[in-house]
């Protein structure tokens, strides 16, 4: 299980092929007087693809990504890619950060220096972390599973093996979206290894959504149940597809960069705190680099497979006793009721963020880094 240095370098042939595809697009029509309500808006996508084709510089972005110390390590037949940046402080606390979908390890790109070197950003060096950011199996530069069975539960086991290989017996963990699930399974199954966990969401709470016992729910929990049902009906089509027929979806999105961009961008617009305008939160380069991670690794199909695995093979989670910090960003989707969180997690810090959406550390890296530092401060001893 040797750790090896990793350097991103995409072949010229792959980039030339992408350029060819961007030059030969067959666009669909869009109904007059319609915008984003039926899906990704045509004029916006055409404008972004024009920038992608004529101005976007992957080599420049590749060079920026390679400034991080990156490695791979084979765990359970998966070649796991990860960033490992050492903290600059007297006693850095190791922390493993897990991303979700449709983001990637780049979710934490802006936050890494804030955690490794807080003193350079007006913080206390005592709050420094050794930061480990792996790419989930089948995401980005981690290899794709060859057989079924890799779900959040299994990934949590893999992360403990990775941290052992890196020499960390006790560590912190944080995550959002799919990363929240992995982090909670870490805490549930390996509590002796965890100092604490920090979460920005808990996914869709199916036990509340499917509960027939509304009399024993709090008002906040009843409201959550209504909101969750409405959200799934209006926004959850991707879940139904990816958790039932991910392979069918993979053919189109693996073959068309525009189709891939459309699938991902719609979620970034719907789930971020951008008020319907992606440019309020993300630059064109930022969005395209995110899409490029999926394109150059051809992993949109394997990332969708994780929805199938998590829908069909995850064991239930009991109450988690590891100290838990919750940072809830105001524009995120389906914020959990506090009563439910306190019944199921040992919540020792609860922060209502004034802004920010689902892509937490991408949208508000300073707010999130501050909260992580504050949560772990009393746990470091």
Q: Is residue 177 annotated as a catalytic residue, yes or no? A: yes
Query: Of the listed 177, 273, 332, 370, which one is catalytic?
Result: 177
User: What φ, ψ does residue 129 adopt, rounded to 5°?
Assistant: -130, 145
Determine whether 56 is an active site residue.
no
Give the CA angle between residues 284, 288, 289 to the nearest 5°.
115
Residue of 56, 185, 307, 376 marked catalytic: 307
Catalytic residue among 108, 358, 371, 376: 358
Is 307 among the residues known to form the active site? yes
Cis ω for the linkage preceding 102 (within 30 of 0): yes
- Measured CA distances, 213 to 29, 218, 242, 302 (Å): 46, 11, 30, 37
Q: Interior CA angle at 135 toward 50 and 133, to 5°? A: 110
Closest CA to 124 of 375, 370, 304, 378: 370
Handedness of CA 207, 212, 218, 221 (dihedral sign): positive
What is the number of other CB atoms lying within 10 angstroms of the CB of residue 196? 24
Cα(203)–Cα(234) distance, integer angstroms: 17
Active site residues: 177, 307, 358
């Amino acid at each position: 299980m040797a750790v090896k240095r990793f350097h991103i370098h995409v072949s010229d042939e792959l980039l030339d092929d992408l350029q060819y595809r961007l030059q030969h697009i067959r666009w669909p029509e869009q109904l007059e007087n319609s915008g984003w309500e039926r899906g990704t808006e045509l004029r916006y996508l055409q404008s972004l693809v024009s920038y992608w084709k004529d101005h976007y510089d992957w080599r420049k972005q590749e060079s920026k990504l390679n400034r991080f110390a990156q490695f791979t390590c084979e765990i359970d037949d998966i070649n796991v890619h990860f960033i490992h940046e050492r903290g600059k402080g007297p006693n850095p606390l190791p922390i493993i950060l897990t991303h979700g979908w449709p983001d990637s390890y780049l979710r934490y790109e802006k936050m890494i220096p804030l955690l490794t070197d807080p003193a350079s950003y007006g913080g206390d060096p005592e709050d420094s972390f050794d930061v480990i950011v792996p790419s989930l199996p089948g995401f980005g530069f981690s290899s794709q599973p060859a057989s079924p069975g890799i779900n959040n539960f299994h990934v949590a086991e893999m992360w403990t093996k990775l941290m052992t290989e890196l020499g960390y017996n006790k560590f912190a963990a944080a995550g959002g979206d799919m990363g929240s699930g992995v982090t909670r399974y870490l805490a549930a199954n390996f509590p002796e290894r965890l100092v604490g966990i920090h979460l920005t969401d808990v996914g869709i709470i199916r036990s509340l959504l499917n509960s027939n016992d509304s009399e024993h729910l709090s008002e906040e929990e009843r409201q959550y149940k209504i909101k969750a049902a409405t959200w799934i009906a209006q926004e959850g089509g991707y879940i139904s597809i990816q958790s039932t027929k991910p392979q069918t979806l993979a053919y189109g999105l693996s073959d068309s960069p525009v189709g891939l961009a459309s699938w991902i961008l719609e979620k970034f617009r719907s789930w971020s705190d951008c008020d319907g305008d992606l440019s309020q939160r993300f630059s064109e380069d930022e969005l395209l680099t995110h899409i490029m991670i999926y394109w150059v690794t051809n992993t949109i199909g394997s990332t969708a497979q994780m929805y199938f695995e998590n829908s069909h093979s995850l064991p239930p989670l009991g109450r988690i006793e590891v100290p838990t910090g919750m940072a809830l960003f105001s524009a995120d989707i389906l914020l959990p009721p506090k009563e439910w969180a306190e019944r199921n997690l040992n919540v020792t810090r609860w922060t209502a963020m004034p802004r920010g959406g689902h892509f937490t550390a991408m949208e508000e890296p300073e707010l999130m880094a501050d909260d992580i530092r504050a949560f772990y401060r009393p746990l470091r001893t």
